[in-house]
Amino acid sequence: MSDFDIENIYAQIADDLRSTGLSIIENAMDPIIIQALNQRIASLEEDTFQTAGIGRQSDHEKNALIRRDKIRWLDRSNELEAGYLQAMDDLKDYLNRRLFMGLFSYESHFAHYEKGAFYKKHLDAFKGKANRVLTTVFYLNEDWQTEDGGELVIYQAEDHNKALCKVLPQQGTLVTFLSDEFPHEVLAANKSRYSIAGWFRINASTAAHIDPPR
Ligand code: OGA
Ligand code: MN
């Protein structure tokens, strides 16, 4: 049995979110799970990844100016992917208990940034519009160096032109932030870069409209 203390990680995330709305935690997951996720990613054929879109945008050229990553949604029918989704479900329950966030569901995809790929500055949700409330990004890249590029740059909630911090996409690092507060971008990676991005939603269903999972 691993003695990894996930409750302690959840507590740190809750504290960070309460004080700043942003949390960056290294070694946030059991190394055994990280290894397994890496093997899972390595076993996936590249053609199971699809070009990522932006909202309902279907203009591929415009899209490619904004983001160049390829994605594959996580699926509960695979045991490992289900394990990751379960960890995020537990985080959801923890945050709901501690911070009364009212988080309702979670959706998540693997993202592959090939050499040269980037994602320009964006917000994951727009105030009052979307129901994505909390973003998570988890990194899977062993021994990532500064010269490998591909940093996540997070901008200030108060001033979207001012960078707040740069995060190396280092294996085991989990970044969590309020989706409609912090603009962020992925700088061009100099080598293949893998992450798992995900979003907690609140329930936006009404009698006339059942909120789709994505
Ligand atoms: C996203 C995103 C960041 C990353 O998918 O919306 O901002 O570091 N990803 O992969
Ligand atoms: Mn994003």
Q: Mapped to the 3 state alphabet, what secondary structure does 121-185 carry?
A: EECCCCCCCCCEEEEEEEECECCCCHHHECCEEEECCCCCCCEEEEECCECCCEEEEECCCCCEE
Decide if 105 is inside a domain: yes
46: pLDDT confidence band, cut at 50, 70 and 90?
confident
Can you give the pLDDT at residue 102? 93
User: CA separation (Å) from 108 to 73, 76, 116?
Assistant: 6, 11, 23
Examine the pLDDT at 130 and tell me if it is beyond 70: no
Distance 141 CA to ligand 1 centre (A): 14
What pLDDT does residue 60 have? 78
CA–CA gap between residue 117 and residue 97 (Å, rounded): 38
Residue with the smallest CA separation from ligand 1 atom 6 is 124
The verdict on residue 211 lying in a domain is no
Say which CATH number the domain at 108 has.
2.60.120.620
Looking at ligand 1, which atom is closest to the CA of residue 195?
Answer: 10
Q: How far is the CA of 3 from the centre of ligand 2 (A)?
A: 32
> Cα of 184 to ligand 2 centre, how many Å?
6
Mean pLDDT of 77-99: 96
How high is the pLDDT of residue 206? 61
Looking at residue 129, its pLDDT comes to: 67
Q: Which ligand is nearest to the CA of 195?
A: 1
pLDDT bracket for residue 210 (50, 70, 90): low
- The sheet carrying 132-139 orders its strands as 22-25, 174-178, 132-139, 193-201, 105-113, 70-73, 50-51
Distance from the Cα of residue 115 to its chain's centroid:
20
Q: Which residues, including other chains, have CB under 8 Å from residue 86's CB and lie 6 or more apart?
A: none
What's the whole-number mean pLDDT along residues 72-81?
A: 96
More confident residue, 6 or 208: 6
Cβ burial of 166 (10 Å; 0-12, 13-18, 19+) is exposed
- The pLDDT of residue 7 is above 70: yes
How many distinct structural domains can be found in the chain? 1
Tell me, yes or no, whether 212 lies in a domain: no
Binding-site residues, ligand 1, Cβ < 6 A? 111, 119, 124, 137, 152, 169, 184, 186, 195, 197
Predicted pLDDT at 126: 81
Q: What is the pLDDT of residue 3?
A: 80
CB neighbours of residue 125 within 10 Å: 18
Cα 105 to chain center, whole Å? 14
Domain membership flag for residue 206:
no
**Per-residue pLDDT at 106 exceeds 90:** yes
**Residue of minimum CA distance from atom 1 in ligand 1:** 197
pLDDT band, very low/low/confident/very high, at 213 (cuts 50, 70, 90): low
What is the position in ligand 1's atom list of the atom closest to the CA of 135? 6
Question: Does 35 fall in a domain?
Answer: yes
CA 37 to chain CA mean position, Å: 15
- Residues around ion ligand 2, judged by CB within 5 A, are 124
Residue 60 contacts residue 52 (beta carbons within 8 Å): no
With the CA atoms of 122, 146, 23 and 197 taken in that order, what torsion angle do they form, in degrees rounded to the nearest 10?
50
Does 203 score more than 60 pLDDT? yes
> Can you tell me the distance from the alpha carbon of 195 to that of 173, in angstroms, rounded to the nearest whole number?
10
| Mutation test residue for ligand 1: of 54, 176, 195, the one with most atoms within 8 Å of CB | 195
Say whether pLDDT at 111 is over 60: yes
Please state, as a whole number, how many other Cβ atoms lie within 10 Å of the Cβ of residue 46.
Answer: 9
Structural domain contains residue 70: yes
Percentage of the chain beyond pLDDT 70 is: 92
pLDDT, residue 159, reads: 97
Print the domain residue range for 179.
6-201
For the CA of 124, the closest atom of ligand 1 is 6
Provide the mean pLDDT of the chain. Answer: 92
Q: Residue 20: inside a domain, yes or no?
A: yes
What is the model's pTM?
0.92
**214 within some domain:** no
Provide the pLDDT for residue 53.
83
How far is residue 102's CA from residue 106's CA, in Å, rounded to a whole number? 12
